[in-house]
Amino acid sequence: MPIVSYGHYGFALLLIPTAAADYLEYERFQLIDALAPMINAGKLRVYSINSMNKESWMNNQMLGEHKAIRHNQFNEYVFNEVIPFIRNSTSPDIMIYTCGASFGALHAMNLFLKRPDIINGAISMSGVYNLTEYTKGFWDDQVFYNSPEHYIPGLTDSYYLDKIKASHHIHIYTGSGDFEDPEAAKRFAGILYQKGIWYDLDVWGQDIKHDWPTWIKMLPYILENKF
C-alpha cells in the first residue's frame, strides 16, 4: 500500500486516516499545511498511510469474522512493513508516535498499546476506544484484543505494561461539541489511571466539533506544547 512522508528530520509521526480515507487525506484537508512550520524546522517527519476500514468495519457486505481478520492484517502491515520502512528511511532508534482522529484515534491508540516495544506513544483526537462502536454487534476475541477499553483492564504482562507506562506521550484529546464524545475519552483515561499508566487528557469546549477545523487546531497545539 502507498505511504507518503513529509520532512527530513526529527521524530516520526505516523498518521492513520479518519475513516475510509487514503494516505493523502491529511494533506487534502490541510492538516499537513498546519504542521509545515514544525516539519520545515526539523522537529518531526510525518508519514501517512492508507486506511483499511472500508475493507473491514466500514464494509457492510462483509461478515464480522472477515472484518476482524482484515483489522488484524492492517495491524500486522503497520508492525511488519510500515514501522521497519520508517526506521530504514531514518534511523534504527528513531522515536515513532502514531496519531489519528475519529476512527483513526482508536487505531492509533490500539497500535501503540499492542506494540509499545516498537511504537513510543500515541496522539488520539476525537476518538472512542471501544471497538464495538464500529462492529455492529459482532463480538469475538479479535474484537476484544483490538478494543483498548476491553483489553487494557486485564493487561498484566509486564513486558508490555512496563513499556506502556514508560511512555510520556499518550495524548487523549477531544472536543465537547457536535458529534464529539468526551465521555469516551474520560472513560478510557480512567482505565489508564487504574492501571497506573500516564496519560494527557484534554477536553476542549462545546464550540469544538468533530471535524477537520478541530484537528487542524488540536494537533499543532499538542506537538508544539507536549513534544
Per-residue pLDDT tens over the stretch 99-137: 999 999 999 999 999 999 999 999 999 999 999 999 999
- For residue 105, with 0-12 CB atoms within 10 Å meaning exposed, 13-18 middle and 19 or more buried, which class applies? buried
Q: List the one residue out of 149, 192, 143 whose CA is nearest residue 171.
A: 192
Ramachandran angles phi, psi of 185, nearest 5°: -65, -45
C-alpha pair distances (Å), 79 with each of 21, 34, 73, 118, 120: 20, 28, 10, 8, 13
Domain encompassing residue 89: 3-226
Total number of domains constituting the chain: 1
Q: Is residue 95 within a helix (H) or strand (E), and if so which, with residue range?
A: none
List, in sequence order, every residue forming a beta bridge with 214; answer none if it has no partner: none
pTM score: 0.96
C-alpha pair distances (Å), 40 with each of 43, 95, 108, 109, 128: 8, 18, 24, 26, 32
Q: List the one residue out of 129, 199, 209 whose CA is nearest residue 175.
A: 209
Q: Distance between CA atoms of 21 and 33, rounded to whole angstroms?
A: 18
* Residue-wise pLDDT tens digits, 15-25: 999 987 899 99
CATH number at residue 188: 3.40.50.1820
pLDDT at 99: 98
